[in-house]
Amino acid sequence: MNVKHSALTPLGVMVLALLREGDMHPYEMVRLLRARRDDRIVPITNGTLYHTVSRLHGRGLIDEVGVDRDGNRPERTTYTLTPAGHAAVGDWVRRELGVTGRTTFPVALAEAHNLERYEALELLRTRRTLLDQELASLSQALDGAAARDVPDQYLLEVSRHRILLQAEIAWLDDLIPRMASPDFAWGPDPEHLPAQRKARQND
């Protein structure tokens, strides 16, 4: 199946990434995403998640593996990740992690552990270089505006942008060497993830 990974929504990527940890039903997905506070970076409602799951299933990125019924509760369909879905996560994160100017970076960063450590580091270094170039260009523009006595009221957003760029560059300068260390835990551990999921649900 020819799947356009670029059409994936951030929530779709997060659902696929959850299923890389193990099979689960949408109710469990919602609980996990909220327990991990992923609703800070992507709006999550039961309706949007179930719609996302339906779309992913229709595109062959996930597949049904069973239906459970617990007492009088509605039936819950359990889903698994297909090979195409597995590849889609890495492709999406790979495309979004190393670039600037997009609103999807927080999701790409949250799912960066789905890439090999060396690849995630390379992409973050690329982003660091682009941010530095953007900061230099922005600073030059601000200096030019000051030389022309442009009133500060017209430069508020640009000044804010420069501060945010400086802060993220400093954060990356701290993160990258820490992340490069073998002491920095990285990547999924399939043997322990199911237990971790249950522990988070009980928090």
* Contact between 93 and 115 (Cβ < 8 Å): yes
Q: What is the pTM of this model?
A: 0.82
Q: Assign residue 90 a region (left: φ > 0; alpha: ψ between -120 and 50; beta: otherwise).
A: alpha
Is the pLDDT at 191 greater than 90, yes or no? no
* Contact between 89 and 61 (Cβ < 8 Å): no
- Measured in whole angstroms, the distance separating CA 190 from the mean position of its chain's CA atoms is 20
Give the contacts of 20 (CB within 8 A, at least 6 positions apart).
81, 86, 89, 114, 188
- Give the model's confidence band at 71: pLDDT under 50 very low, under 70 low, under 90 confident, else very high: low
Crossing angle between the packed helical segments 10-21 and 193-201, to the nearest 10 degrees: 120
Crossing angle between the packed helical segments 156-180 and 117-147, to the nearest 10 degrees: 150
Q: Where are the beta strands (DSSP E) in 57-117?
A: 62-68, 76-81
- Of the two residues 178 and 201, the one the predictor is more confident about is 178
CATH number of 7-97+106-111: 1.10.10.10
* Contact between 142 and 165 (Cβ < 8 Å): no
Max intra-chain CA distance, the chain = 73
Chain segment 129-165, per-residue pLDDT in tens: 999 999 999 999 999 999 999 999 989 999 999 999 9
Give me the chain's average pLDDT, please: 88
Residue 124's CB is within 10 A of a number of other CB atoms, namely 19
Residue identified by tokens 């600073």 is: 139
**In three state form, how does the secondary structure of 31-89 look?**
HHHHHCCHHHCCCCCHHHHHHHHHHHHHCCCEEEEEEECCCCCCCEEEEEECHHHHHHH
Whole-number Å distance between alpha carbons of 26 and 41: 19
Residue identified by tokens 């995403």 is: 33
